[in-house]
Structure formats: C-alpha cells, structure tokens
Structure 1
Amino acid sequence: MNLKPPTATSPAVSTGRMIVISGPSGAGKSTVVRELLKGCGLPLTLSVSATTRAPRAGEVHEQDYIFLPRDEFDRRRRAGEFLESKEVYGRGDWYGTLQSQVAAGLADGKWVILEIDVDGMQSVVERYPETITFFIHCGDIDELERRLRTRNTDSEDAIRRRLEVARHELAYQNRYRYQILNDDVDQSVRRICDILQQLQLGASTNA
C-alpha cells in the first residue's frame, strides 16, 4: 500500500497491507479471523484494539485488548493517536484502533487485520482507500438472532441492542470490497485466504 510519509496522524510507509474485517456480532467474524491467522500462509497480524472497558475473566492486556483508563483513552483520542474510535452499544465503553499498533505491523511488512465495525471501516478507508475490506455475515437478521440466542451468553436487552446494531451494519455491507457468507467457518477462511493470496500475487506481478 502506498501510504503517506509518517506524521502525527498517519502510519509509517511500508510494504504491508491493511485489511478490515467487519460483521454483526454473532456472525462468527472473530472465529474466522482467529482461524485465518493460524491457517493462511501470509504475513498476517491482528491489530489489538484499545478499550476502556474492564478486562473479562481470562483476558490479557495487550493480547486480547489494550485496556486503558477512560482519561488515558480520551487523552490519546484528543491527541489524534487513533485511526478510528467509537463508543459501543451506548454503555459508555470506548473502543479504538491505535495508529501505533497498525504502524508497527506495516513497518514489519505485515498484512495488518483490523477487526472493526462499519463506522470504523469508513474512517480507515477514507484515509487509506486501498485498504482490503471484508464483510462477514450469516445471511439475514433472523439467522443472526438464532445464533445470538443459541450461544446463550447475552441477556435479552443485550440481544436487542446487538440486533439493532446489526441492522445498521447490514445496511453498509455493499460498501465492502468482499462479502463473505459465513455458513461454514473453514470455507469462509479458505475463501478469504484465497482472495488475499491472489491480491499478493497480483501485487508481485505488478511490482
């Protein structure tokens, strides 16, 4: 990707690529990303998001999330250190992508995956149009609701909030370069990996 020279608000120049993967909660995107990182023979790395929410049981700082106090998150946001950031589900918890996370991966020639929502995708693509974007979904809102209820991890209020957000996200799926129907994780991973490998081959051929 032909990135701008490093500034206070943009990642460093590198031969790496940025990949955005989005999708409604319950569509299985986190599972797909995890398997993609393990099984695709490309220099992939996941950008670890920052958040103001408290760690859950078993979560590790700088591995699952970068856990920041609210005042520190706000300070960094005002200083322009985030590529994108947003308060999620109206609960006062903020999430964001630190530019330092992306820049470090790109500087190492990595293909950096950002697992972010549709609003974050638009912020990233506005600045870096060559970002490779994938939208992972499970078909329709009824199937999504079935999956959310089957996993039995959310309250009724949480399910309603997630479905409301999902309707917003599904309205933006056509803005993504690739749409992946995730009715089988292995097939979804193979399809995404095949696309990325073809893009890598095309870049090598044009170099």
Structure 2
Amino acid sequence: MALGKLLIFSAPSGAGKTTIVKHLLQKYPSLLSFSVSATTRERRPYEVDGKDYYFISPEAFQAHIAAGDFLEYEQVYNGTLYGTLKNEVERIRQAGKHVIFDVDVIGGLNIKKQYGDDALAVFVKVSSIDELARRLMGRNTESEEKRRERVEKARREVQYAEKFDVILLNDHLPTALQQAEELFEQFAGVQVEKV
C-alpha cells in the first residue's frame, strides 16, 4: 500500500485555512485525516483536546522537543508553542490516508522541506491585511492586543506566500472551497464522481 500524501494549508490568522481544511475533511472522510498539532496555548471553549489540538503544558512540550518527537515546532506567538508530532503524521500515512495540515506559515514550509514531492504546500490569502483584521475582529475570540499581534504577524507571513507550491485566494469562500477540492483531487490522483 502506498503511503498517503501530505496536504499543507498555511495562512495568516483569519484567512480561512481552518474553514477550508474542515470542508475537505467533511467532503473526503475516507481519504483524508487531520494532523492534530500540539500547542501550549489555552483551549478555547469550543475546542476539543485531541481533535482540534493536543493541549499540553510548556514542560511537556519541551520534553517532546528534547526527545526529538516533533516534525516541526515553533513559538508562533510570544510564549505559545505549536508543533507537529512525527508519530501523528506517520500513523495517518501508514493507514493509507492522506494527511491534511492546518499549520502556521513557517511550520508549513518546514514540513514541505522534509517531505518534498509527497507534500503540497498551499498558502491561503485574502486580498488585504485590512480584510484579515476585519475577519479577526468578527471572530471575537481574543483581546484587542492579541488581534493586533495577529495582524502584525500576518504582515510578515504574507511575504512567504511565493515560497509555497500554490497560493489560494479566499475572498469568496465557495470559490476557494471548490479550488481546494480540485487541488486535493489533482495532487492525490483522486477520481471523484461529480453529481
């Protein structure tokens, strides 16, 4: 059995990568499996440990780093660590499924570097930083200070877009979802009946 491929979605916060990833997981449940990242950040009320993230202490995260357990990891925001566990990715691939990632920009590029042609790195963007700021404000999930921090980080992250295999514009969600489906089907060599 061939090992599954890796489909990496990265974007500044608010660009819609999580919405796109969730759509693909719903559309292709027998083909795709989500790579759950580990993080030291606080769990949001609607999030489920082990499904959205593995929420672990900074000490446990450091122990995983010391043991070489991460495929990639990064301090994304001041004091908050995120990482992809190697065993999570290999478990999915060994099961013959394709792995889909919802990771930050640097993490996405690091995974692509390690897996080469077995990975497709997709940068999700919107037409402007102002649109990102508007979306983050609409989410109402963090303080004004955190939103400003995310917008500043987004300004830096958009500079990496050209390093990705594909840039997916998400100014109109139905169009972006359709394009994401086409990218996956083409990359994974999947034939899906159109109704």
Same fold (TM over 0.5): yes
Which residue of structure 2 lines up, in the alignment, with residue 123 of structure 1? 110
- Secondary structure of the residue aligned to 2:176 is helix
Match of residue 147, structure 1, among 135, 138, 142: 135
- Secondary structure of the residue aligned to 2:134 is helix
Which residue of structure 2 lines up, in the alignment, with residue 164 of structure 1? 152
Which residue of structure 1 lines up, in the alignment, with residue 82 of structure 2? 95
Q: Does 1:46 align with 2:6?
A: no
CA RMSD of aligned residues (A): 1.8
Aligned-pair CA distance for 1:190? 1.4
* Distance (Å, rounded) in 1 between the aligned partners of 2:107 and 2:175: 26
Which residue of structure 2 lines up, in the alignment, with residue 34 of structure 1? 22
CA contact (8 A) 1:85 1:94 kept: yes
Q: Does 1:138 align with 2:126?
A: yes
CA contact (8 A) 1:49 1:66 kept: yes
Which residue of structure 1 lines up, in the alignment, with residue 193 of structure 2? none
Percent identity between matched residues is 38
Which residue of structure 2 lines up, in the alignment, with residue 205 of structure 1? none
Q: Does 1:21 align with 2:9?
A: yes
TM-score normalized with structure 1 length = 0.84
TM-score normalized with structure 2 length = 0.89
Q: Does 1:86 align with 2:95?
A: no
State the number of aligned residues.
189
- Secondary structure of the residue aligned to 1:19 is strand
Match of residue 72, structure 1, among 60, 84, 88: 60
Aligned-pair CA distance for 1:145? 1.5
* Distance (Å, rounded) in 1 between the aligned partners of 2:46 and 2:29: 29
Residue 44 to residue 53, structure 1, CA distance change in 2 (3 Å): same
Aligned-pair CA distance for 1:147? 1.8
1:161-200 matches, within 5 Å, as: 161-200=149-188
The one-letter code sitting in structure 1 at the alignment partner of 2:160 is Y
* Distance (Å, rounded) in 1 between the aligned partners of 2:151 and 2:175: 25
The one-letter code sitting in structure 1 at the alignment partner of 2:178 is R
* Distance (Å, rounded) in 2 between the aligned partners of 1:60 and 1:199: 30
- Deviations, residues 144-175 of structure 1 (Å, cap 9, x unaligned): 12222233333221121011110111000011
Q: Which runs of 5+ in 2 are unaligned?
A: 191-195
